[in-house]
Amino acid sequence: MDSSFLLGLTTFAYLGASFLYVAFCLYHADKIGKAATVVTVAALALQTAGIGLRWWESYRLGFGHAPLTNMYESVVFFSWAIGLFYLILTWKYRARILGAFAAPLAFLAMAYASFTPGISRAIAPLIPALQSNWLIAHVVTCFIGYAGFAVAAALGCVYLLKERAMTKSIASHLPERDILDDLIHKTLIFGFIWLSAGIITGAVWADSAWGTYWSWDPKETWSLITWFFYAITLHARYTRGWNGARIAWMAIIGLFCVLFTYYGVNFLLSGLHSYGSN
C-alpha cells in the first residue's frame, strides 16, 4: 500500500460524504448527518495518512521533502485543509449543513488531483528555488488561507439558500441568517490573516531565492489582487455595514479570485512560479 492508494480512497470517501450530506439536506435525518460526518472524518484521516506516507516515500527515494511542491501535492493539501476547517466549524458551531458544500469542494479538489491527465503525480527532487526552509511555512499559510476562503464561499452559498428557500421545510433546517453572516465574517478574517502570512513568508523566501522581496511575478501580482479584494470586503463591512447577501456574494466571488491566483496563473501565465504547474 502506498500514498497514491490512500489518496485515491480519500477521493471516493469525500464523494460518499458529499452524497450523504446532500441526503441529509433532503431528508433532514440526524442519522444521515452523523454518518456524513463520520465518513468525512474517515476521509480526512485517510488523507492525513496519505500525505504523511508520501512524505516518507520521498525520504525513501533519497530526496526527502514536504509533499507541497507541485500542483498535485498542493491540491491534495488544499483539499485536506478544507476538510479540516469544515470539521472544526462543525464541532464548534454545529454547522453540519455546511458539509453539503464543503465536502464536494474537497472531493472536486481530490478528483482534479487524481484524474487530470496533465498533472504529474510522481515524487521528484526539488528544483533549486524550492530548496528552502521557507517552503513549508509559505505553502501551509497560503493554503490554510485558501481553505478558509473556500469555506467562506460555501457559507455564502448556505446563506443565499436560506434567504431564497422556497419552503419553510428547507429554511428551518438551515442556521439562522445572522449566525451564517457572523460565520462568513469570521471565516473571511481567518482566511485573510493566513493569506497575509503567506504573502509575507513568500516575500522572505523570494529574497533568499531570487534576491528580491517582490518582483511583480504574475503569481505575486494576483496574490496581491486577491489580498486587496478581501481587504476591501472586510473594510466595507466595518465602515459601510456590509452584511447579509452582499457579504455572501463577495465571499463567493472572492473564491474565484483565489482559484485564478492558485490555478489560472500557473497554466495561463508564465513566471517564476510556473514550476507549480508540474
Q: For the chain, first and last CA: distance in Å?
A: 25
* HSE-CB for 204 with a 13 A CA cutoff: 13
Structure confidence by residue, pLDDT tens digits, 137-173: 988 999 999 999 999 999 999 899 888 765 565 666 6
* HSE-CB for 195 with a 13 A CA cutoff: 29
Q: What is the mean pLDDT of residues 181-202?
A: 95
More confident residue, 185 or 162: 185
* Residue written as grid cell 473564491: 255
Which segment, 143-152, 175-184, 267-276, is predicted with the most confidence on average?
143-152
Structure confidence by residue, pLDDT tens digits, 216-262: 888 888 899 999 999 999 999 999 888 999 999 999 999 999 999 88
Contact 183, 190 (CB under 8 A): no
pTM here is 0.89
Q: Phi first, then psi: what are they for 166, rounded to 5°?
A: -80, -20
271, pLDDT greater than 90: no
The amino acid sitting at 153 is: A
The amino acid sitting at 9 is: L
Kind and range of the H or E run holding 190: helix 177-210
Q: In this structure, what is the dihedral angle of CA atoms 104, 25, 162, 169, given to the nearest 10 degrees?
A: 170
Query: Which fold, 1-117?
Result: Four Helix Bundle (Hemerythrin (Met), subunit A) (1.20.120)
64, pLDDT greater than 90: no
Q: In the chain, where does the domain assigned CATH 1.20.120 lie?
A: 1-117
Q: Phi first, then psi: what are they for 174, rounded to 5°?
A: -105, 150
